Amino acid sequence: MSRIQYGSIPIIITNSLPPLAILGESCATYSCASGYFCNASLVCQQSIVVNISALQGVAAPVIGAAPVATITETAQYTGTVTWSPANNPFAGGTIYTATIALTPKAGYTLTGVPANFFTVAGATTTANAINSGVVTAVFPVTTLTIGMSYQGGIIFYIDGTGQHGLIAALSDQLNMPRGWGLQWYNGVSYHGYYPQGPWTVTFASGTAIGTGMANTNAIVAAQGAPILTEYAARLARNYNGGGYSDWYLPSKDELNQFYLNQAAVGGFYSECRDFWSSSEIDSYADWYGNGTSTWVSYSAWSQCMSGYCAGTQYNYLDKSEERCVRPIRTF
């Protein structure tokens, strides 16, 4: 049995379905018909068309942030949010689309909502079909910038794609408690009295952007565990800021990019002015009187960050010199 209204006269139709109560009728026994809801007095009342258009709790994606799964609940509806692509956290250089599914609360209906009624702050486009609570919001491409906190450090270089670059550790890594500076080479004395003295060659010759990690790995492989105290490349390689394990000592050109954008990075120790790169120089064969030879290298590139020498890159400093270290990583 079901009920329809003809003018002011309700008509009962007998069938297998339970009756539905309409406006003003009791809903203590039967459910209200579509477009009505059962109020606190157990009487069917006409539903109110949702009229809050601004969806809260969904904002333009920020690189490194986690996507939200729900909107801010209102008196009229709740809502869930799904993202495409489904990155967590949000990545750079990406256009994200949020699909928001609204559920009206008791007493409210989406029937009567016009097309493209809902809005989402920060979206380039927002759309919904007529009588629908499924809302699609498209956001602008996420943008990486110099000086942004990202993946354990601060971005100081972005390549031409706008999606990849270099990140510096939040602060200089010091050789405490011994002192602030570190040697490039692994040793405790001068001119090779120990097996791995300042002339040990590592063939870490890369200078371009993108060669620092290979340099660092080559240095650590050649010089091994510290003889007395940490050395520059190994300290940088063992750094794990932000939970990342792919930090390294920058190459000559990577270090220069760090110099150019150091103001956006910060975190400098007061005593730190000159910094080591991972780029070795002056590798050559050293011949002995007995006709044998070995590859040796006395120097590595370093760079001055401030003061009278700001920007200068040195190619003659002995590896036994103590310089500051700032680990970097790629993204």
With H, G, I as helix, E, B as strand and everything else as coil, classify residue 16. Answer: coil
Q: How many domains does the chain have?
A: 3
Written as one letter, the residue type at 182 is: L
Output the pLDDT for position 6.
54
Span 282-299, average pLDDT = 61
The verdict on 285 and 323 lying in the same domain is: yes
Reported as a single tens digit per residue, the pLDDT across 141-177 is 999 999 999 999 999 999 998 889 999 999 999 876 5
User: Is the domain of 155 the same as that of 110?
Assistant: no
Q: How confident is the model at residue 298 (pLDDT cuts 50, 70, 90)?
A: confident
**CA–CA separation, 257 vs 290, rounded Å?**
45
Q: What pLDDT does residue 114 have?
A: 97
Average pLDDT over residues 25-48: 79
208 and 319 share one domain: yes
Cα–Cα distances in Å, from 223 out to 184, 204, 248? 10, 11, 15
Identity at 212, one-letter amino acid code: G
pLDDT of residue 14: 47
**Which stretches within the chain are classed as H helix?**
212-223, 232-238, 252-260, 262-265
Q: Please give the Cα distance from 262 to 306 (Å, whole number).
A: 10
Tokens representing 89 are 């956290």
Domain ranges, residue 98: 54-138
Please tell me the predicted confidence (pLDDT) of residue 285.
55
| Structure confidence at residue 174 (pLDDT) | 85
Q: How far apart are CA 313 and CA 164, in angstroms?
A: 25
Residue 1: both structure tokens together: 């049995």
- Whether 36 and 61 map to the same domain: the answer is no
